Amino acid sequence: MQSEIIIVPAAFFLVGFIVYTIVEGFRRRSQTKTVTEFHGRLLDRIGSAKEFGDFFASDAGRRFMDSLSTTETGSPQLRILKSLQLGFVLLALGIGLFILTDQRTFSIEASDGLVVTATVTAAVGAGLLVSTLMTYLLSWQMGLLAKRTSTPPRESGETA
């Protein structure tokens, strides 16, 4: 029995996932630190209670409060593009595994393992693509994908 055919790719993906998780953690930590320092400096510049109230009543104050959110939701367009990318990658990987099992000679156990892996990978990729299409259609129908209007230029007297 050649269990190496499953163990080696699984170990490769496990190491890749661990590296991705660590790098993503460092990225988020750095981003959070930068945003926190910026917000701290911004609040230090506000001297009086009147300036504080005026700032939070302005559009810039509302944007500041929105930026304090700890969730990283992203726009619908970014989430749709990420799932589209992942769907195509998984579908291509599944098709590539099918081509590999067709072009090379493996033992029956290894061939069965590759066919199962290829089927699951291709099915998940196709499912993500269908899900992305449905998400796009629903988001468009609900008006979440409306074109962004450019912000009007600020007058010289306005502050942000």
148 pLDDT exceeds 70?
A: no
Instruction: For residue 84, give Cα distances in angstroms to 26, 30, 131, 153.
Output: 25, 27, 9, 35
pLDDT in tens, 99-146: 988 888 888 888 888 899 999 999 999 999 999 999 999 988 888 776
pLDDT in tens, 42-92: 777 777 777 777 777 888 777 777 766 655 556 778 888 889 999 999 999
Are 141 and 113 found together in one domain? Answer: yes
Q: Tokens at residue 48, please?
A: 């009086």
Are 92 and 30 found together in one domain? Answer: no
Is 153 domain-assigned? no
Is 4 domain-assigned? no
User: pTM surpassing 0.85?
Assistant: no
Average pLDDT over residues 93-97: 92
